[in-house]
Protein backbone atom coordinates (compact mmCIF):
# COMPACT_ATOMS: atom_id res chain seq x y z
CA UNK A 1 0.00 0.00 0.00
CA UNK A 2 3.03 2.27 0.43
CA UNK A 3 3.53 2.82 -3.28
CA UNK A 4 3.14 6.00 -5.37
CA UNK A 5 -0.12 6.62 -7.17
CA UNK A 6 0.23 5.83 -10.86
CA UNK A 7 -0.78 8.64 -13.20
CA UNK A 8 -1.25 9.38 -16.87
CA UNK A 9 1.73 8.04 -18.78
CA UNK A 10 2.61 5.45 -16.12
CA UNK A 11 3.33 1.95 -17.35
CA UNK A 12 0.93 -0.83 -16.47
CA UNK A 13 2.38 -3.08 -13.73
CA UNK A 14 3.21 -6.66 -14.60
CA UNK A 15 0.58 -9.25 -13.77
CA UNK A 16 0.47 -10.40 -10.16
CA UNK A 17 0.59 -14.19 -10.01
CA UNK A 18 -1.23 -16.06 -7.27
CA UNK A 19 -2.64 -12.95 -5.61
CA UNK A 20 -5.60 -10.69 -5.94
CA UNK A 21 -4.75 -7.18 -7.08
CA UNK A 22 -6.64 -4.18 -5.73
CA UNK A 23 -6.62 -0.95 -7.71
CA UNK A 24 -7.05 1.65 -5.02
CA UNK A 25 -6.42 5.18 -3.82
CA UNK A 26 -4.96 5.85 -0.41
CA UNK A 27 -7.59 8.44 0.53
CA UNK A 28 -10.65 6.82 -1.05
CA UNK A 29 -13.11 5.53 1.60
CA UNK A 30 -14.67 3.13 -0.92
CA UNK A 31 -11.27 1.55 -1.55
CA UNK A 32 -10.73 1.36 2.20
CA UNK A 33 -13.93 -0.68 2.48
CA UNK A 34 -12.39 -3.41 0.33
CA UNK A 35 -9.05 -3.25 2.15
CA UNK A 36 -10.85 -3.69 5.47
CA UNK A 37 -12.58 -6.83 4.22
CA UNK A 38 -9.41 -8.25 2.68
CA UNK A 39 -7.51 -7.66 5.92
CA UNK A 40 -10.31 -8.95 8.16
CA UNK A 41 -10.46 -12.18 6.15
CA UNK A 42 -6.64 -12.40 5.91
CA UNK A 43 -6.66 -12.67 2.11
CA UNK A 44 -3.35 -12.12 0.29
CA UNK A 45 -3.45 -9.19 -2.14
CA UNK A 46 -1.35 -6.57 -3.87
CA UNK A 47 -2.26 -2.89 -4.18
CA UNK A 48 -1.81 -0.62 -7.18
CA UNK A 49 -2.62 2.99 -6.27
CA UNK A 50 -4.28 5.16 -8.92
CA UNK A 51 -4.09 8.95 -9.21
CA UNK A 52 -7.75 9.86 -9.69
CA UNK A 53 -6.96 13.32 -11.11
CA UNK A 54 -4.59 11.94 -13.75
CA UNK A 55 -5.47 8.32 -14.42
CA UNK A 56 -3.22 6.02 -16.45
CA UNK A 57 -4.68 5.42 -19.91
CA UNK A 58 -4.62 1.64 -19.45
CA UNK A 59 -6.68 1.82 -16.26
CA UNK A 60 -9.92 2.16 -18.23
CA UNK A 61 -9.35 -1.37 -19.45
CA UNK A 62 -9.55 -2.47 -15.83
CA UNK A 63 -12.38 -0.22 -14.67
CA UNK A 64 -14.57 1.12 -17.50
CA UNK A 65 -15.62 4.21 -15.53
CA UNK A 66 -12.10 4.85 -14.28
CA UNK A 67 -13.20 4.54 -10.66
CA UNK A 68 -11.59 2.83 -7.69
CA UNK A 69 -11.77 0.35 -6.15
CA UNK A 70 -11.39 -2.38 -8.75
CA UNK A 71 -10.35 -5.92 -7.90
CA UNK A 72 -8.44 -8.03 -10.42
CA UNK A 73 -8.88 -11.75 -9.82
CA UNK A 74 -6.32 -14.48 -10.41
CA UNK A 75 -7.92 -15.34 -13.77
CA UNK A 76 -7.79 -11.75 -15.00
CA UNK A 77 -11.45 -10.89 -14.43
CA UNK A 78 -12.01 -7.50 -12.81
CA UNK A 79 -14.78 -6.50 -10.41
CA UNK A 80 -15.61 -2.92 -9.49
CA UNK A 81 -17.98 -1.10 -7.09
CA UNK A 82 -17.07 -1.60 -3.44
CA UNK A 83 -20.24 -3.37 -2.28
CA UNK A 84 -20.14 -5.84 -5.16
CA UNK A 85 -16.48 -6.59 -4.45
CA UNK A 86 -16.94 -7.17 -0.71
CA UNK A 87 -19.96 -9.41 -1.25
CA UNK A 88 -17.92 -11.48 -3.70
CA UNK A 89 -15.05 -11.76 -1.22
CA UNK A 90 -17.34 -12.83 1.61
CA UNK A 91 -18.93 -15.55 -0.52
CA UNK A 92 -15.72 -16.73 -2.18
CA UNK A 93 -13.54 -16.83 0.96
CA UNK A 94 -15.79 -18.50 3.49
CA UNK A 95 -13.49 -18.42 6.50
CA UNK A 96 -14.66 -15.75 8.95
CA UNK A 97 -17.98 -14.73 7.42
CA UNK A 98 -18.61 -11.01 7.72
CA UNK A 99 -22.23 -11.00 6.59
CA UNK A 100 -24.75 -12.58 8.95
CA UNK A 101 -25.61 -16.15 7.96
CA UNK A 102 -29.25 -15.39 8.75
CA UNK A 103 -30.81 -14.18 5.46
CA UNK A 104 -33.16 -11.73 7.18
CA UNK A 105 -30.42 -10.16 9.31
CA UNK A 106 -28.15 -9.94 6.27
CA UNK A 107 -30.90 -8.12 4.37
CA UNK A 108 -31.47 -5.73 7.28
CA UNK A 109 -27.76 -4.96 7.47
CA UNK A 110 -27.65 -4.30 3.74
CA UNK A 111 -30.55 -1.86 4.14
CA UNK A 112 -28.58 -0.04 6.84
CA UNK A 113 -25.54 0.16 4.56
CA UNK A 114 -27.73 1.65 1.81
CA UNK A 115 -29.21 4.08 4.33
CA UNK A 116 -25.73 5.14 5.41
CA UNK A 117 -24.69 5.56 1.76
CA UNK A 118 -27.61 7.30 0.15
CA UNK A 119 -30.00 8.69 2.71
CA UNK A 120 -27.89 10.03 5.53
CA UNK A 121 -24.22 10.17 6.32
CA UNK A 122 -22.06 9.58 3.22
CA UNK A 123 -23.72 12.04 0.85
CA UNK A 124 -24.02 14.73 3.50
CA UNK A 125 -20.41 14.34 4.69
CA UNK A 126 -19.15 14.52 1.12
CA UNK A 127 -21.01 17.78 0.53
CA UNK A 128 -19.71 19.29 3.78
CA UNK A 129 -16.10 18.27 3.26
CA UNK A 130 -15.89 19.08 -0.45
CA UNK A 131 -17.60 22.47 -0.27
CA UNK A 132 -15.64 25.66 0.33
CA UNK A 133 -17.19 28.43 2.33
CA UNK A 134 -20.46 28.36 4.25
CA UNK A 135 -21.71 24.93 5.33
CA UNK A 136 -25.31 24.03 4.48
CA UNK A 137 -27.12 23.43 7.76
CA UNK A 138 -29.33 20.85 6.03
CA UNK A 139 -26.24 18.69 5.53
CA UNK A 140 -25.32 19.05 9.20
CA UNK A 141 -28.81 17.90 10.10
CA UNK A 142 -28.61 14.94 7.72
CA UNK A 143 -25.36 13.75 9.31
CA UNK A 144 -26.74 14.24 12.83
CA UNK A 145 -29.95 12.34 12.04
CA UNK A 146 -28.01 9.56 10.36
CA UNK A 147 -25.64 9.14 13.28
CA UNK A 148 -28.56 9.19 15.72
CA UNK A 149 -30.23 6.30 13.90
CA UNK A 150 -27.03 4.24 14.08
CA UNK A 151 -26.67 5.14 17.77
CA UNK A 152 -30.16 3.70 18.35
CA UNK A 153 -29.34 0.61 16.29
CA UNK A 154 -26.35 -0.18 18.52
CA UNK A 155 -28.55 0.24 21.60
CA UNK A 156 -31.18 -2.10 20.14
CA UNK A 157 -28.58 -4.77 19.35
CA UNK A 158 -26.94 -4.53 22.75
CA UNK A 159 -23.53 -5.59 21.38
CA UNK A 160 -20.11 -3.94 21.09
CA UNK A 161 -20.28 -4.08 17.28
CA UNK A 162 -23.11 -4.24 14.77
CA UNK A 163 -21.77 -7.68 13.91
CA UNK A 164 -21.86 -8.87 17.53
CA UNK A 165 -18.68 -9.51 19.49
CA UNK A 166 -16.51 -8.85 16.43
CA UNK A 167 -16.91 -6.36 13.56
CA UNK A 168 -19.11 -7.64 10.74
CA UNK A 169 -19.77 -6.34 7.24
CA UNK A 170 -21.93 -3.44 8.42
CA UNK A 171 -19.21 -2.27 10.81
CA UNK A 172 -16.56 -2.35 8.10
CA UNK A 173 -18.73 -0.65 5.47
CA UNK A 174 -19.44 2.41 7.62
CA UNK A 175 -16.03 2.66 9.31
CA UNK A 176 -14.16 4.72 6.64
CA UNK A 177 -16.54 7.66 7.12
CA UNK A 178 -16.56 7.30 10.90
CA UNK A 179 -12.75 7.40 10.79
CA UNK A 180 -13.06 10.76 9.01
CA UNK A 181 -15.82 12.14 11.24
CA UNK A 182 -13.48 14.12 13.50
CA UNK A 183 -12.60 16.46 10.66
CA UNK A 184 -16.19 17.66 10.57
CA UNK A 185 -15.28 19.69 13.64
CA UNK A 186 -12.99 21.80 11.45
CA UNK A 187 -14.81 21.77 8.14
CA UNK A 188 -18.41 21.34 9.31
CA UNK A 189 -20.33 22.31 12.42
CA UNK A 190 -18.07 22.21 15.49
CA UNK A 191 -21.07 21.17 17.63
CA UNK A 192 -22.11 18.33 15.35
CA UNK A 193 -20.37 15.46 17.15
CA UNK A 194 -21.56 15.78 20.73
CA UNK A 195 -20.12 13.15 23.06
CA UNK A 196 -23.23 12.94 25.21
CA UNK A 197 -25.40 12.36 22.12
CA UNK A 198 -23.41 9.50 20.58
CA UNK A 199 -21.97 7.64 23.57
CA UNK A 200 -22.41 4.17 22.04
CA UNK A 201 -21.06 5.22 18.65
CA UNK A 202 -18.00 6.79 20.21
CA UNK A 203 -17.32 3.64 22.23
CA UNK A 204 -17.87 1.58 19.07
CA UNK A 205 -15.41 3.82 17.24
CA UNK A 206 -12.81 3.34 19.99
CA UNK A 207 -13.21 -0.44 19.80
CA UNK A 208 -13.01 -0.40 16.00
CA UNK A 209 -9.77 1.60 16.10
CA UNK A 210 -8.24 -1.11 18.30
CA UNK A 211 -8.98 -3.93 15.85
CA UNK A 212 -5.72 -5.13 14.20
CA UNK A 213 -7.34 -5.43 10.75
CA UNK A 214 -8.70 -1.87 11.02
CA UNK A 215 -5.38 -0.41 12.21
CA UNK A 216 -3.65 -1.52 8.99
CA UNK A 217 -5.46 1.03 6.82
CA UNK A 218 -6.36 3.66 9.42
CA UNK A 219 -4.98 7.19 9.20
CA UNK A 220 -5.13 9.87 11.87
CA UNK A 221 -7.25 13.01 11.63
CA UNK A 222 -4.26 15.28 10.93
CA UNK A 223 -3.42 13.27 7.81
CA UNK A 224 -7.02 13.34 6.61
CA UNK A 225 -7.15 17.10 7.20
CA UNK A 226 -3.93 17.76 5.26
CA UNK A 227 -5.21 15.68 2.36
CA UNK A 228 -8.57 17.47 2.39
CA UNK A 229 -6.84 20.84 2.34
CA UNK A 230 -4.87 19.79 -0.74
CA UNK A 231 -8.07 18.47 -2.36
CA UNK A 232 -9.94 21.71 -1.72
CA UNK A 233 -7.02 23.65 -3.21
CA UNK A 234 -7.41 21.63 -6.42
CA UNK A 235 -4.11 19.76 -5.96
CA UNK A 236 -4.93 16.51 -4.13
CA UNK A 237 -1.69 15.19 -2.65
CA UNK A 238 -2.28 11.44 -2.73
CA UNK A 239 1.37 10.72 -1.96
CA UNK A 240 1.76 13.05 1.01
CA UNK A 241 2.56 10.13 3.33
CA UNK A 242 5.39 9.01 1.08
CA UNK A 243 6.64 12.57 0.57
CA UNK A 244 6.71 13.22 4.32
CA UNK A 245 9.11 10.31 4.85
CA UNK A 246 11.60 11.34 2.15
Contacts of 43 (CB under 8 A, 6+ apart): 20, 89, 93
Is 178 annotated as catalytic?
A: no
Taking a C-beta distance cutoff of 8 angstroms, is the pair 143, 137 a contact? Answer: no
Give the sheet arrangement for strand 20-24, strand by strand: 45-49, 20-24, 70-72, 78-80
Out of 6, 20, 22, 28, which one is annotated catalytic? 28
For 57-61, the CB contacts below 8 A with 24+ separation are 57/8, 57/9, 58/12, 59/6, 59/23
The CA-based angle 42-43-49, given to 5 degrees, is: 115
The candidate with the shortest Cα–Cα distance to 27, out of 69, 60, 70, is 69
Q: Which residues are catalytically annotated?
A: 28
Amino acid sequence: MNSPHLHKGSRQPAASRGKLRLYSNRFCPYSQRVILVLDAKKIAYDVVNINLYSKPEWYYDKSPFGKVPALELENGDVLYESLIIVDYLDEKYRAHHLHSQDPLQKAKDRLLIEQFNRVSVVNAMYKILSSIGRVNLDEDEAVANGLASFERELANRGTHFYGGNKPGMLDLMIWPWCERSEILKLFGNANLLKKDKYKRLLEWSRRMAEEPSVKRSMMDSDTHIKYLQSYRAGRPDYDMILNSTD
